[in-house]
Structure 1
Amino acid sequence: MPKNILLITSDQQHWDTLGAIGSPVKTPNLDKLASRGMIFDRAYCPNPTCTPTRASIITGQYPSQHGAWSLGTKLDERIPTVGQSFHDAGFATGLIGKAHFQPLKSTAEFPSLEAYPTLQDLQFWREFNQPFYGFHHVELARNHADEAHVGQHYAIWMEEKGCKNWRDYYIKPTGHTDGLKHVWPIPEEYHYNTWIAERSLAFMDEQRNGDQPFFLWSSFFDPHPPYLVPEPWASMYDPADIDVPEITPGEHDQNPPHFGMTQEEKPDFGPWREDGQGIHGYHSHLVSREDMAKNIAVYYGMISMMDHYIGKILDGLEERGLADDTLIVFTTDHGHFFGQHGLVAKGAFHYEDLIRVPFIAASAGEIPTGGHTKSLQSLVDLPTTFLAAAGIDAPRTMVGENQWPSWTGEVETVRDHVIVENRHQPTTIHVKTYVTDRYKITVYYNKDYGELFDLQEDPNELLNLWDSEAHQPLKNRLIKEFLFAEMGKEPMAMPRISGA
């Protein structure tokens, strides 16, 4: 039984960007972690958007259950979390890096600590010592690269490190620049990767001195766009050597209309916009091959730089004698398009590129080493599994599966399906996907169209079988299975009282 739990996450990382599985991306430290544990080839997010999935990672509930169903929503602080469960069991709990459980705008009904102006009230964060969703030690930031959302503990750290001019590296109105592209001139010693690694190790030292077990989430921001990273990482990969994914002619002919519209220069997605909020992915995805190659090169550089600082955390564990007593999991919150199917970034396009995630688990003497498994995993399972690994009962509100037996090799698989949700508008962008070991079916609320892919015969998802006459019996069977799965994920929050 591991004494400590360390969760390391990236943000918006394509599943196929680990050197250990043959990717051209150099990730020596994650490869080393994989050699000491297991790579899970079929891991999925519960929602391909930051806030919903991150909330699921700590609550063990699906977005449709915990309520933080899209960006701009807030996770209710009253929902039991994995951090609180560990704290109640005597663990030190820490979150360092990106949280994103709350929106950038605060209201009287839904006050947000991650909103302006609190976000950039550095004195507030200097004095902040409250629990945050069960984490009793937090050091937070909110910006990706040079975004204006910089602030919180990260900005304080930069100032304490002597970077008094940190605003020179961020865009207006917080900073002084008009936006940078590809090369970020911030000195590496002040980059948030450095901050996360340094502060993660400091947290471990504090607990080691008191001999207290810990549950720590080291939450990195990259390789989420904007595509921006310091040298030498920005030039680490030559765009001329990049194999740029491209659309296959005609592949969207049988897909729902929003797929094909992404290949237009000026598509009109007005009918999809119900609440006036921004909607991911519903725009033109046309990018020149030259620009895409450069973006991918920098995206790879962002991953390699992050890997370098993940290595510092992992090496620090070893140096402190904690490695053999710590369960380590690396994953991301959701995937990313960089040309696959003609798409960029993210949206309601539930291809494997977006909903499948890299996933490594390692625990000395517990998890088999150096192998791969196709056992289906969902990030909603993380809280239940972490608690099970530590011998702690999970709250009844958590609906994720206990994957510990599949991690240790006691059983081949725990799940026979995963469910992915995506509700980015009240009704017009309300999507759910059901994935089995072979098939994937996607249903749209109040729509006759959908997607059905045979991942065994069509792993690149080029042939949508939804309207195929020969596959109607299969579609009907999968929809029935999907309905049963939806019913099965309802929480058993309260026990039945006999005789009542």
Structure 2
Amino acid sequence: MKLARRPNILFITSDQQHWNTIGLDNPEVKTPNLDRLAQRGCLFERAYCPNPTCTPTRASIITGMYPSQHGAYSLGTKLDEKHPTLGQALSKNGYKTSLVGKAHFQQLISTPEYPSIESYPILRDLDYWKKYDETFYGFDHVELARNHADECHVGQHYALWMEEKGLTDWAKHFQNAWGDYKFTDFDTSPQYLKWSIPEEYHYNAWIAERTNALMEESARQDEPFFLWASFFDPHPPYIVPEPWDSLYDPAEVTVPQATPGEHDKNPEHFRKTQEENPDFSDWKEEGGNAMHGCSSHLQDKESLAKEIAVYYGMISCMDKYIGQILDKLDALGLADNTLIVFTSDHGHFYGHHGLNAKGPFHYEDLVKVPFIASWPGQIEAGSRSAAIQSLVDLAPTFLAATGTAIPRSMTGLDQSKSWTGQQAPARTHAVVENRHQPTTLHLKTYVDARYKLTTYYNREYGELFDLQADPGELNNLWDSPDHKDLKAALVLKLLHAEMGKEPLPMPRVSMA
């Protein structure tokens, strides 16, 4: 791709956002700024995460590798600094690379073997963060936080910013203790639905303000930038400052529910979620990690409606501050030469299939994500695409768009020419991984234009859905005798997809 001038890249992400929560397609949610971004560019309708949990996907975004390749396969794991990253490659090519907001490349508990600066007690050591001036996974400049809403994991640069803004008693708006760590003498219980913190001190305001300041700095210095504005919402807990907590009426939101009998053909761990006190002990193995989602998902419709209303409020609040970033980009005169991508690290259940939050359940609600790409003069404005995308493709695509060499370690695909209409879609399928236990919760999903197949390591069960005939994924065809040949064909396609994920071999050096 020939470029007269290297483009800036503004990368905006939410956290755990359902794919169908952009107002352009869902009138129940108000997102005027995401709507206008979609109208400036392309709304991709089939974008998938490489893993439906935070650390694995975020590590894939910056390495262009799948979790099974970069090693940060689950929450509580660490991305090894040895891997080449997007930030490193762009920095070498003259870009100022920055991240503001959530990183989550490292774990909350540091160990001698796997040290982590996103861990206790460092994240609450504000003197440490005042002096922090190092590159972080290839980013020249980072301003970090780790908490979702009022979680006690608050600290780092976000806490420093609150103090600079005059909110010296910020700790009273956050939970006080985690495990053996207790930070103040007063007790703050978890808040619900309404968050006590004034909106002006919300981390959305922090991310927008600091993102805009960094764009101004790059504009003054006339340097190309890669800037990741990494928002924390609408990841639970479900709380947001007023007036956003009451923006939506719980009585007027659609509340997804399980369809009676839909889990009868599914693996047992699906059915257990619909029990009051399920026993998942048979799924726990030595050497395993926390099993997110392996618990009861039962919830009364009234309380779920209240949470959905606040979930939407969290999205709309975030959208306001995304709008401030887009406005600043316009005001700086940078919009015409900036590739903007908005997406989320993975999806979310809020009643779909009787499930909540996330877990080893690879329905579209969890593995598909909102995805918008805008690039004036390159990506057709107001367009839509059903071409399959994967977040593992972002690093090689960003590098190609900037004329930067793609490291051979990156196994994601370059989508840049597909986005700009110069080539056919780069993908025929996506692969989604999920691993928390060595065998019992170790699954992979293959999804193409029509079908979705999920297999479990050393297990006979699985899922097979015809997304064309059964878009709601209610009829698992895995054990259907009429679909044995289809299942075999899709298993072979998954095997081929796994082989295709392998890094390119080193070129042969002639011995002549």
TM category, shorter: over 0.9
Query: Post-superposition shift, 1:493?
Result: 5.4
Distance 2:505 2:152 in 1: 40
After superposition, residues 264-303 of structure 1 pair within 5 angstroms as 264-274=275-285, 275=287, 277-303=289-315
Query: Post-superposition shift, 1:495?
Result: 2.5
Contact 2:74–2:289 (CA under 8 A) maintained in structure 1: no
Q: Which amino acid aligns with 2:131?
A: E
Return the TM-score normalized by structure 2: 0.96
Larger displacement relative to structure 2 (410-419 or 281-290): 410-419
Q: What is the aligned partner in structure 2 of residue 418 from structure 1? A: 430
Query: Post-superposition shift, 1:277?
Result: 4.0
Q: What is the aligned partner in structure 2 of residue 461 from structure 1? A: 473
| C-alpha spacing 1:474/1:313, structure 2 compared with 1 (3 Å) | same
Q: Which amino acid aligns with 2:176?
A: K
Q: Which runs of 4+ in 1 moved over 4 A?
A: none
Query: Post-superposition shift, 1:23?
Result: 4.1
Distance 1:427 1:143 in 2: 31
1:470 lines up with 2:482 in the alignment: yes
Aligned partner of 1:65 among 64, 69, 82: 69
Count residues in correspondence: 500
Aligned partner of 2:327 among 304, 315, 335: 315
Query: Post-superposition shift, 1:37?
Result: 0.1
After superposition, residues 134-145 of structure 1 pair within 5 angstroms as 134-145=138-149
Query: Post-superposition shift, 1:428?
Result: 1.2
2:24 aligns to what SS in structure 1? helix
Aligned partner of 1:83 among 81, 87, 95: 87
2:43 aligns to what SS in structure 1? strand
Distance 1:428 1:68 in 2: 18
1:434 lines up with 2:438 in the alignment: no
Distance 1:232 1:137 in 2: 33
Query: Post-superposition shift, 1:498?
Result: 2.8
Q: What is the aligned partner in structure 1 of residue 249 from structure 2? A: 238
Distance 1:495 1:155 in 2: 48
Distance 1:6 1:245 in 2: 34
Distance 2:271 2:508 in 1: 50
Query: Post-superposition shift, 1:346?
Result: 0.1
Contact 2:39–2:381 (CA under 8 A) maintained in structure 1: yes
Distance 1:434 1:278 in 2: 24
1:54 lines up with 2:58 in the alignment: yes
2:11 aligns to what SS in structure 1? strand
1:356 lines up with 2:330 in the alignment: no
After superposition, residues 36-435 of structure 1 pair within 5 angstroms as 36-173=40-177, 174=183, 176-274=187-285, 275=287, 277-435=289-447
Q: What is the aligned partner in structure 2 of residue 32 from structure 1? A: 36
Distance 2:246 2:163 in 1: 28
Query: Post-superposition shift, 1:105?
Result: 0.4
Alignment deviations for residues 414-435 of structure 1 (CA, whole Å, 9 cap, x no partner): 1001000000112211000000
Alignment deviations for residues 291-337 of structure 1 (CA, whole Å, 9 cap, x no partner): 10000000000000000000000000001111111000000000000
1:18 lines up with 2:22 in the alignment: yes
Q: Which amino acid aligns with 2:423?
A: V
1:19 aligns to what SS in structure 2? coil
| C-alpha spacing 1:276/1:446, structure 2 compared with 1 (3 Å) | closer
Alignment deviations for residues 422-472 of structure 1 (CA, whole Å, 9 cap, x no partner): 001122110000000000000000000000000000000000000000100
Contact 2:288–2:438 (CA under 8 A) maintained in structure 1: no
Query: Post-superposition shift, 1:276?
Result: 6.3
Q: Which amino acid aligns with 2:78?
A: K
Distance 1:242 1:23 in 2: 10
Cα RMSD, aligned residues only: 1.0
Distance 2:146 2:508 in 1: 42
Query: Post-superposition shift, 1:478?
Result: 0.5
Q: Which amino acid aligns with 2:200?
A: E
Contact 1:327–1:361 (CA under 8 A) maintained in structure 2: yes
Distance 1:181 1:80 in 2: 41
